[in-house]
Amino acid sequence: MEPATLQPLSQQANDEKVCNQEFKDLLSSLPKERGLAPTYSYQYQGFWYSPLALQGVINCQNHFEPRKNDVILVSAPKSSTTWLKAIIYTLINREVHPPQNPHHPLLNKSPHQLVPFFELLDPSEYDAVCNSSESSTRIFATHIPVGSLPKSLRDDSSSSNCRIVYLCRDIKDNLVSLFHFANKVNMRPSPISLEEAFDLYCKGISAVGPIWDQILGYWKESLQKPHKVLFMRCEDLKNEPRFQLRRLAHFLGKPFSLEEENSCLLDQIICLCSFDTMSKLKVNNTGHLKHGISNSSFFRNGIVGDGKKCLTADMASRLDQITEEKFHGSGLFL
Ligand code: A3P
C-alpha cells in the first residue's frame, strides 16, 4: 500500500519496470507482500513501500543535502498533511504574503505544489524548491520514518539547523481516510473493502506502515530533541488552533509579535487554511499532482471522529488495543 506517493493504477503498472538494475537487486532482496496496491509492497528498514515510494526514499537517503533553516513536515499519509502544509507555508511567508492577500499563493496553487513531498521529487529538483520568502528556508514534506531519514537531517551536529514537524492523527480516522482515498484514486481495478483495508492496516502493510512504529519513532525523537522535532496532533489543531499556531510559529523561529497577536492575523491564517476555504478553491478541485493523483482527492470531509462512525465496534476496539499495546510505556496517548 502506497504513501502519499499513492498512484493511480496506470502509473503503478509501470512501477516495477522502470527501475535500474541496482534497485531491482535491492527489491529482490527485500520481503514483499501483496498490499492494497496492484504492485507488491516491499519492506525496507522495517516499513512497507511501493517500488516507486521506495525509490524516492533511497534517492533522499543518497542525495538530499539539508540547508540551513530547512523545514520538514513529516506525517503518515492521510494525517491531514495537506492542512499543515498550508499552515506552515502561510506562517513562514506571512510577511510577503499576508493571509488576507487576495493573491495569496494558496488561492491559486495546491498546498502540495507549494510544499512538495521529497519522495516525489527527482534529486535534481531539491535545489529548485524555493517555497519561502526567506531565501534560506525550504519547506518539504515527507512520509519517511525517522530511522530512514537521510542521516544529515537527523544529525544534531550538522550545521543545517533544520526543523522537523511531525503530524499524527487518530488511528481510526487515519484508517478510514486512507480507505476512502485508496478507492478514490482507484488503486485497484475493483474497490477495496473496508475489511480488507483494515486487515492490511493492522498487519502494518499499509502506507509506510506499521503506522504505530512511524508515530512512535518521531514521538521519541521529539522527547530527545525538542529543539529539532515538534510533535503535533491533528485533533489538537482542530480543538485549539490558536494555541497550536503559536506553538508552531515559536518552534519554527517565527513567533508572533505583540502587534501580530493584537491583529486578526491568527484568525486569518486559520480561516485561509481551513477545510472550508481550501476545499472550495478551484485549484483544489481541478488538476493533478505529478504522479496523477487528483488535487481533489486530498479533501473529503476533514472532520474528527469519522473513524468511530465508519468502523464496526470490533474494528475500533482492535485498533484501540493495538495502539495501546504499541504505545505502552511511551507516554504517548492517541
Ligand atoms: P478525511 O478523509 O478524514 O476527510 P493528507 O492531507 O495527509 O493526505 O490527509 C487527508 C485528510 O486531511 C482528509 O481527511 C482531508 O479531508 C483532510 N484535510 C485536507 N485538508 C484539510 C484542511 N484544510 N483542514 C482539515 N482537514 C483537511
DSSP character string of 239-294 = H-HHHHHHHHHHHTT-PPPHHHHHTTHHHHHHHHHSHHHHHHSGGGTS-B-TTS-B
Q: How many CB atoms lie within 10 A of CB 283?
A: 16
Supply the CATH number for residue 109's domain: 3.40.50.300
Domain count, the chain: 1
With respect to residue 201, please indicate whether it lies within any of the assigned structural domains.
Answer: yes
Residues 113, 167: Cα–Cα separation, whole Å: 19
48 membership: H or E segment, kind and range: strand 47-49
Q: If you measure from the C-alpha of residue 278 to the centroid of ligand 1, how many angstroms do you get, rounded to a whole number?
A: 10
- Give dist(CA 311, CA 300) in Å, integer: 17
Domain membership flag for residue 185: yes
Answer for the pair 174, 233: CB distance below 8 angstroms, yes or no.
no
Question: Is residue 2 included in any domain, yes or no?
Answer: no
> Domain for residue 9, yes or no?
no
Residue 208 belongs to a domain? yes
By residue range, what is the domain housing residue 49?
Answer: 25-327
Nearest CA to 232 out of 222, 242, 207 is that of 222
Smallest CA separation from ligand 1 atom 26, residue:
302
Residue from 259, 256, 284, 282 nearest 270 by CA: 256
Mark whether 143 is an active-site residue: yes
CA separation for the pair 333, 318 (Å, rounded)? 16
Q: What is the pLDDT of residue 18?
A: 53
The residues, any chain, with a CB within 8 Å of residue 283's CB and separated by 6 or more, are: 107, 108, 109, 110, 295
Q: Is the pTM of this model over 0.85?
A: yes
Residue 150 lies in a domain: yes
**Percent of the chain beyond pLDDT 70?**
93
Burial class of residue 102 (count of CB atoms within 10 Å of its CB; 0-12, 13-18, 19+): exposed
81, 139 in Cβ contact below 8 A? no
Model pLDDT for residues 169-196, shown as the tens digit of each residue = 999 999 999 999 999 987 777 889 999 9
Residue 313 lies inside a defined structural domain of this protein: yes
**Nearest atom of ligand 1 to the alpha carbon of 82:** 6
Residue 206 corresponds to which cell in the numbers above? 499499509
Cis previous bond, 66, omega within 30: no
Q: 17 CA distance to ligand 1 centroid (A)?
A: 32
Ligand 1: residue of 7, 74, 80 to mutate (most ligand atoms within 8 A of CB) is 80
Ligand 1 pocket by Cβ (under 6 Å): 4, 75, 77-83, 173, 177, 180, 273-275, 278, 298-302, 306
Please give the span between the terminal C-alpha atoms of the chain, in angstroms, as a whole number: 23
Residue 77 CA to ligand 1 centre (angstroms): 10
CA atoms within 13 A on the CB side of 251: 25
Q: How do strand 71-75 and strand 47-49 relate by DSSP bridges?
A: unpaired
User: Is residue 162 in some structural domain?
Assistant: yes
pLDDT-flagged residues of the chain (< 70): 1-19, 135, 158-159
Q: What percent of the chain lies above the pLDDT cut of 90? A: 76
Whole-number Å distance, alpha carbon 161 to ligand 1 midpoint, is 29
Closest atom of ligand 1 to 75 CA is: 7
Quote the pLDDT of residue 272: 98
- Report CA(82)–ligand 1 centroid distance (Å): 6
Q: Are 187 and 36 in contact (CB under 8 A)?
A: yes
Specify the pairing of strand 47-49 against strand 40-44.
Answer: antiparallel
At 107 the pLDDT is 98
Helices (H), the chain: 9-15, 21-29, 51-63, 81-92, 111-114, 151-154, 171-184, 194-203, 211-224, 234-239, 241-251, 258-262, 265-273, 275-280, 306-310, 313-327
Contact 129, 116 (CB under 8 A): yes
Nearest CA to ligand 1 atom 27: 302
Catalytic residue (one of 104, 143, 180, 291):
143
At residue 4, the pLDDT reads: 36
